[in-house]
Chains A and B, each alone.
Chain A
Amino acid sequence: MIEKALSGSKYYWAWICFLLAVILVGVAAYIRQFHYGLGLTGMSRDVSWGFYIAQFTFFVGVAASAVMVVLPYYLHDFKRFGRITILGEFLAIPSVIMCMLFIFVDMGQPTRILNVILHPTPNSVMFWDMIVLSGYLMLNIVVGWVSLSSHYKLVHPPKWIKPLVFLSIPWAFSIHTVTAFLYSGLPARHFWLSAIMAVRFLSSAFASGPALLVLLCLLIKRITKFDPGDRAIKGLVTIVTYALIVSIFFVGLELFTAFYSHIPGHMQSFKYLYFGLEGHGKLIPLMWFSTLLAITAVLLLLIPATRTNQTTLVIACIFVHVSLWVDKGFGFVIGGFIPNPLEKITEYWPTLNELLVTAGIWSIGMLVLTALYRIAIVVKVELEA
């Protein structure tokens, strides 16, 4: 099947070449960082995690959101997702790969990364994160590939695949839960120290991931001969709408606890992000931008006229994805470090080199996604013809 990714129109190859070029730039930027050290990034003694870890956190969510097509289809026999389960699984694979790469480029001593396996430490959440992420990657590769190739060979999928499919469902929840535990178990980081962090992560993931999937489905419908089906897209949109509203509700819960209790530690990061703290407020425009997009998206998704109109639906899905990307892929991580444990403020902004490395990783993700989707779509189209 893999050969299907090696043939395509000139547009397909132009896109691949573009991605390869960006990857090359990213690799060059990474080599620079490898030699100089992480000082080439905007991170500091006070804001010791930045864009890389924030992007990692966001894409764990996108990866986990595959469960939103797998679960209804396999557990509730929700037939209309049958055509897109493979798209969900194949979106999870590049997402997890990006997560792993973001972790890797964030390491101070990347050549020692195997120490995590050589000296396994079950009391560290990072150890579990490595286990759940690599497990989830394997599950999605095996399940996605085996289902697609049996489909291609016109045979029933082997019996042993079912237990793996069922296993992948709780596993998807576990990856984002463990990622939330990286943050929510740290004393003195009040912004993160919240019991609802895991569900907050999951709800925002189940909005941003399926929103991306809707966009991908609409794009596929437009540029290929494969039609994911309007009813499947409609199902996804319902999930996005509910998940987004729940996600906003959870932010509201955090705000209530922080500001009604009026405990300074709980308020400070929110204040920094949305209003500025002691004259520092680099992230204010970004956070309000994210808020505005989220509210607009909720309205567009709730009003039947805009939900059913394809143009406004596309806008709504872009807004959902971008809004949550800003919130979780930037503000959430940086906000937790401000102010520092001594209540001093050091601000953070990514450097050019950091952004180039990030762009390289996104491109690797998109390259894998393009190849996998190409295979899936060619197979589906050939069978339908």
Chain B
Amino acid sequence: MSVDRRQFLKAAGATGLLGLLGSPLFKIFAPGELEASPELKEGMAKSAKRWAMVVDMKAFPTEESYNKCIEACNNIHNIPHIENEKHEIKWIWAEKYENAFPDSYNGYVSESIEKMKFLVLCNNCENPPCVRVCPTKATFKREDGIVVMDYHRCIGCRFCMAACPYGARSFNWRDPRPFIKNLNPSYPTRTKGVVEKCNFCADRLYRGELPACVEASNGALIFGDLKDENSNVRKTLRSKFTITRKPELGTFPGVYYIIGGS
């Protein structure tokens, strides 16, 4: 059978059209079936109007106690271990008082505070500068206050890193996969050229679990709904004096610190 130019073009056009329409048609007639759907039982997901965390420094007596939280996060989220500090990926890590709270540092801190290391992580701000600057909405704030990343949309412009006042964002300067010690197959790895950060374990909350660091903290990290008066976070904020990082910037961080110490 011979096909002339006109017939060929017709056939090619029809095939192309089918290709274009095919996938949306599938979606109309069989919604949701093409997407991976994690097992979720009714009422299982933890939900909140605004998730927040309190870091109780008094409850972190030793280096080991907060390192457990960092390790739990690193392992679960497939955080690569990159030796070169310039290319490090960090979701949650520990800093000295003068680095975590540079604006409140007066040069003379007590010995106990001097020894302390403060867990720092994405503040999941109420008013996040990173979300404001992202040109593709690859980073956005969810209704429950968590600031998340879409690794498949991120173009790697790093505007969010310039905007973040807390240095909470890391960029994959190279392929991170060879640097993951123990791969957790149930959590995605990232690719080179995208930005990532802590997301308050949004996926674990969805499955009804607490964030990994909170679970490993032995009560030193308190997690709950800031908008719920009866939540443990609000109870703690009512009874203890807390501070946040760089409050003068109006970002309204979702991570509070009980400094304690003497």
Please indicate which of the listed interface residues B129, B133, B195 has the most CB atoms of chain A within 10 Å of its own CB: B133
B171-219 residues at the A interface, CB under 8 angstroms: 171-175, 191-195
B167 contacts across to A, CB distance below 8 A: 45-46, 340-342
Chain B nearest CB, measured from A231 CB (Å): 44
CB distance A45 to B164 under 8 Å?
no
The stretch among A65-73, A79-87, A123-131 that forms the contact with chain B is: A123-131
Chain A nearest CB, measured from B247 CB (Å): 12
The stretch among B47-55, B151-159, B254-262 that forms the contact with chain A is: B151-159
Chain B nearest CB, measured from A187 CB (Å): 4
The stretch among B16-24, B37-45, B68-76, B84-92 that forms the contact with chain A is: B84-92
CB distance B174 to A121 under 8 Å?
no
Q: Mark contacts of A108-124 with chain B using CB atoms, 8 A cut-off: 1 yes-contact digit, 0 otherwise.
A: 11101101101101011
- Judge whether A188 is part of the interface by a CB distance below 8 angstroms: yes
Interface size class of B (residues with CB under 8 A): 35 or more
A38 contacts across to B, CB distance below 8 A: 156, 171, 173, 192-193
Interface of B is mostly: loop
B251 contacts across to A, CB distance below 8 A: 187
The stretch among B3-11, B28-36, B94-102, B232-240 that forms the contact with chain A is: B94-102
Chain B nearest CB, measured from A109 CB (Å): 4
B136 contacts across to A, CB distance below 8 A: 112, 115-116, 118-119, 121
Looking at the complex, which one of B85, B165, B171, B194 makes contact with A48 (CB distance below 8 Å)? Answer: B171
Q: Mark contacts of A139-174 with chain B using CB atoms, 8 A cut-off: 1 yes-contact digit, 0 otherwise.
A: 000000000000000000000000000000000000
- Judge whether A343 is part of the interface by a CB distance below 8 angstroms: yes
Q: Mark contacts of A38-57 with chain B using CB atoms, 8 A cut-off: 1 yes-contact digit, 0 otherwise.
A: 11000111101100000000
Q: Apart from A36-B174, A39-B87, A342-B102, what 12 extra A-B contacts exist at CB < 8 Å?
A: A36-B192, A45-B171, A46-B167, A49-B158, A109-B193, A116-B135, A123-B132, A124-B159, A186-B129, A341-B166, A342-B95, A346-B86
Report, nearest first, the 4 A-B pairs whose CB atoms are least far apart.
A108-B156, A108-B193, A188-B165, A44-B86
Q: Which residues of A contact B (CB under 8 A)?
A: 36-39, 43-46, 48-49, 103, 106-110, 112-113, 115-116, 118-119, 121, 123-127, 130, 182-183, 185-189, 336-337, 340-344, 346
27 A-B residue pairs with Cβ-Cβ distance under 8 Å, sorted by A, are: A36-B174, A37-B175, A38-B173, A39-B192, A44-B86, A44-B173, A45-B170, A46-B86, A49-B158, A108-B154, A108-B172, A109-B156, A109-B191, A109-B194, A112-B153, A115-B155, A116-B135, A119-B153, A121-B137, A124-B134, A186-B162, A186-B163, A188-B249, A336-B162, A337-B162, A342-B99, A344-B99
